[in-house]
């Protein structure tokens, strides 16, 4: 277990990746897949090296920050000799219609509940490996700590947005073992560019009687908005209300939207009930789902093993 629990920087700029050979596409994925999506999204916005976003600091002993504080987190230098270098991507020709967009939903199970590896980073390492192997465009994360997001951003080169769950008195929920605040996050590939507007992060209007107040997070980029939440696991009626509010928040960003999350909804009628008629979704066969608005079509999905978590990873491939 790597112990690199330094405080999250308030603002940093991710370094350029070293000029190494481009990685081989993973099995089952055509080599042209990354070229097509990079062209589509770079043509919209271009590459922007600065990273800003909302996160809570992962200091073990610092006083919990106010829930409204805005922090910044960025992809830092990869740890020496631990992970393969990220290759510089060449300029791409304009993309054709139907270029893929991959969304990976992960629940890393980092909270004080039975079956979760709260004091280990097994699930974090497994998540990092999945991101490096599959190179999804968007990663949505639930039950994750601020320290975990710092590590994942640094070792994958992905940009990160994090927001903590809240207690009844609006203080951030804390992770065990000095991992900082507990919450939800969105990681995005460099090809999506920089943020293009204000990050939406707030508690749901409907809440169950549990100790934590559930929150939603939407990050706007030039080509799309990426949103996530973990909905109530105590009251299905509350979860349905939260699902509808999450979709409304994604729509209100005002651009094509994708949503990934542990929605704690299993019945197809419950899932469909919170979606506009023209939206579509893929699920892991249990409680995790990826939603997409009418600007996208689902091509395929698969479950990926995530060591140390009670949930698989849900990888959904979409086309525009």
Q: What is d(CA 306, CA 115) in angstroms, rounded to the nearest whole number?
A: 13
Residue 254, CB-side half-sphere exposure with 13 Å CA sphere: 6
Residue with tokens 């934590």: 212
Distances (CA, A) of 29 to 47, 89, 172: 24, 17, 40
Distances (CA, A) of 81 to 13, 78, 85: 21, 8, 9
pLDDT at 80: 37
Residue 46 neighbours by CB distance under 10 Å: 10
User: pTM for the whole thing?
Assistant: 0.71
Contact 48, 13 (CB under 8 A): no
Contact 284, 303 (CB under 8 A): yes
- Per run of 10 residues, the mean pLDDT along the chain (length 320 residues) is 40 43 44 39 38 37 37 38 38 50 92 57 92 97 94 97 94 87 97 96 95 96 97 94 97 96 89 90 93 93 90 93
pLDDT at 257: 97
Burial class (CB in 10 A: 0-12, 13-18, 19+), 237: exposed
pLDDT at 308: 83
Determine the number of helices (DSSP H) and then strands (DSSP E) in the chain: 5, 14
Query: What is the 3-class SS of 241-267, one letter each residue?
Result: HHHHHHHHHHHHCCCCEEEEEECCCCC
């Amino acid at each position: 277990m790597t112990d690199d629990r330094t405080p999250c920087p308030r603002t940093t700029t991710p370094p350029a990746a070293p000029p190494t050979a481009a990685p081989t596409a993973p099995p089952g994925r055509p080599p042209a897949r990354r070229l097509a999506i990079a062209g589509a999204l770079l043509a919209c916005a271009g590459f922007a090296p600065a990273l800003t976003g909302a996160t809570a600091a992962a200091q073990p002993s610092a006083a919990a920050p106010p829930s409204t504080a805005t922090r910044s987190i960025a992809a830092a230098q990869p740890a020496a000799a631990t992970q393969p270098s990220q290759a510089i991507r060449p300029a791409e020709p304009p993309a054709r219609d139907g270029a893929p967009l991959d969304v990976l939903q992960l629940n890393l199970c980092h909270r004080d509940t039975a079956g979760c590896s709260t004091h280990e980073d097994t699930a974090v390492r497994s998540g990092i490996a999945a991101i490096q192997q599959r190179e999804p465009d968007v990663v949505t994360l639930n039950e994750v700590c601020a320290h975990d997001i710092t590590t994942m951003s640094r070792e994958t080169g992905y940009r990160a947005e994090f927001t903590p769950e809240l207690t009844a008195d609006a203080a951030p929920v804390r992770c065990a073992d000095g991992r900082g605040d507990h919450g939800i996050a969105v990681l995005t590939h460099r090809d999506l560019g920089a943020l293009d507007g204000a990050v939406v992060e707030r508690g749901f209007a409907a809440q169950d009687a549990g100790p934590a107040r559930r929150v939603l997070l939407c990050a706007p980029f030039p080509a799309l908005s990426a949103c996530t939440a973990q909905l109530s696991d105590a009251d299905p009626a509350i979860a349905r209300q939260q699902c509808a509010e999450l979709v409304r928040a994604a729509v209100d960003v005002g651009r094509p939207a994708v949503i990934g999350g542990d929605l704690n909804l299993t019945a197809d009628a419950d899932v469909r009930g919170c979606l506009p008629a023209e939206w579509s979704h893929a699920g892991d066969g249990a409680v995790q789902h990826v939603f997409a608005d009418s600007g996208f079509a689902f091509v395929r999905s698969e479950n990926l093993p995530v060591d140390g978590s009670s949930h698989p990873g849900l990888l959904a491939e979409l086309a525009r």
